[in-house]
Structure 1
């Protein structure tokens, strides 16, 4: 008896004929309510055709078990097709590239930042690079400081043993890491700000002859808390967010927070934004070198300078030195 069973339906997919959602539904219904007098179905280019005798009359009706097999076969084929389509979409998402915006004038900054809000650290974050070529990795993940197998945490442990001679340490492991990061130790924390103007300052205040960049990153779904221990951190894999307490003035004035990279060289994964508009969750705003001086002047008008971002004697001294460097010198021709 000629009928299409489960195995033949599976072979249908191997013939590379397009098995769309609409045809899947049609065959599903047909298999469930197989018309009387039709013994089965044949795979053809236009779809499934009823099997009839040479006289044109339908052959012997298909037994119930065959109808059941056809019904199951159609369902399985559709699920396989759907799964393959989903996997393809996921692979494209995982392999997305970060977005790029090139700044053409200073006024464009306002237009760009209106589209990216921090929402107190759970939206977009901002980080400035004085050189656009710098990698988006924490210091402990860069070649000159990288130690594999969580050995960067061993370096941090050695730091804490000596640091207690200078200051009291928090009971929170991540707060201790943030303090070490604050004082220049190579850690797996990467600094970000909720304020895009802070990122602008760091992108434009140094290396005036080089193009800069502002990285804009949509905070991931997973945040670390102060309950994280060293052992827990060793077992983590990926990039996580960490919003610290206001432990020191720089964190407050810079509206600072961190990404925690496990391990230290683990790069931020680029995927589609939570907005679902096809844009990536990581975007680089490219700043030409010739725009840097005007941006620094604009930021100063808004009160964003080194004395604000570094509210201590070091910041005050650096601010006065930078102002002196911008002064017109006698005989310079300016």
Structure 2
């Protein structure tokens, strides 16, 4: 399996592929278009690996079943500690099921994950999924990947770290936006999940999650599957563009009301962060002559906070 990679040389071309009328979608039915998800990544070299796996699994360890088990074990234990913390229990989001902590996170359940007779690892399983989805945005690594139904939201997340001077991106050359066309009938190992309706930020971000069912028929020949190993060139696309276009991409997002304030309505510092981001991308654009402008009438709107 594989994906289609498209290298864009300017912002107009980049937006063309993200626009609803773009060449990737012109022959798609309305039903297919409604199943399109987007994911922005600050570094085009980053693979589609969930956060729980990143610190443990390198490319050479994708076939090491023991490394994978360590990832799940750590994720399970982190989840248990977070959900069991008294502060979280006192301020749980609405919609989470009531559980008995002593039995819910029993270590025997962790063993059951790897003893399924079908040799399929469905993690997070249905009972743990609501909790994994909640902690995904609270600093805990999970086996879930974030997606959005809105292309500009993915663009924002791909670009914003580049103006915030993230030290991890010093040597980065390109940012990327992944486009995934969900075809559950063709591949039921890719699961798409909705966040809790009470998660205000995720609702504002039109958020979705994906997870992968792993096969462990033979641990000696195990291979960790990710979304890009299960898809093909017709339903997974990676758009890349030079990271130096990040400021103008953020300006475009701003004119479409996509910024930290609109995406994080539950953040008490959302306006401060929005103003700070805007200051950074404006200063960066003032230093260079724009190479290209989007053909978009909203750019003529008076720039207001």
TM range (shorter): 0.5 to 0.7
| Structure 1 counterpart of 2:47 | 135
State the 1:284 CA deviation: 0.7
| Structure 1 counterpart of 2:158 | 203
State the 1:97 CA deviation: 2.2
Write the distance in 1 (CA, Å) between the matches of 2:162 and 2:135.
25
* Matching residue within 264, 270, 290 for 1:315: 270
RMSD of Structure 2 on Structure 1 (CA): 3.3
| Structure 2 counterpart of 1:254 | 205
**2:231 is aligned with 1:268:** no
Alignment TM-score, normalising by the size of structure 2: 0.62
State the 1:292 CA deviation: 1.7
SS of residue paired to 2:55: coil
Tell me, yes or no, if the aligned pair for 1:132 and 1:213 is still in contact at 8 Å: yes
For the pair shown, the structure with the greater C-alpha radius of gyration is 1
**2:126 is aligned with 1:221:** no
| Structure 2 counterpart of 1:173 | 128
Write the distance in 1 (CA, Å) between the matches of 2:195 and 2:34.
13
**2:251 is aligned with 1:297:** yes
Decide whether aligned partners of structure 1 residues 215 and 290 sit closer, same or farther in structure 2, where only a CA change above 3 A counts.
same
Tell me, yes or no, if the aligned pair for 2:149 and 2:206 is still in contact at 8 Å: yes
| Structure 2 counterpart of 1:21 | none
SS of residue paired to 1:148: helix
* Matching residue within 194, 207, 210 for 1:243: 194
What per-residue deviation string (whole Å, max 9, x for no partner) do you get for residues 279-332 of structure 1? 332211001123222111111111111111111213323212223334549xx8
Write the distance in 2 (CA, Å) between the matches of 1:333 and 1:168.
45
SS of residue paired to 1:132: coil
Write the distance in 2 (CA, Å) between the matches of 1:97 and 1:185.
29
Residue segments in structure 1 that go unaligned for 5+ positions in a row: 1-95, 223-236, 274-278
**2:109 is aligned with 1:158:** no
Write the distance in 1 (CA, Å) between the matches of 2:84 and 2:150.
34
* Matching residue within 69, 85, 102 for 2:7: 102
SS of residue paired to 1:107: helix
Write the distance in 1 (CA, Å) between the matches of 2:156 and 2:93.
31
Alignment size in residue pairs: 219
State the 1:112 CA deviation: 1.0
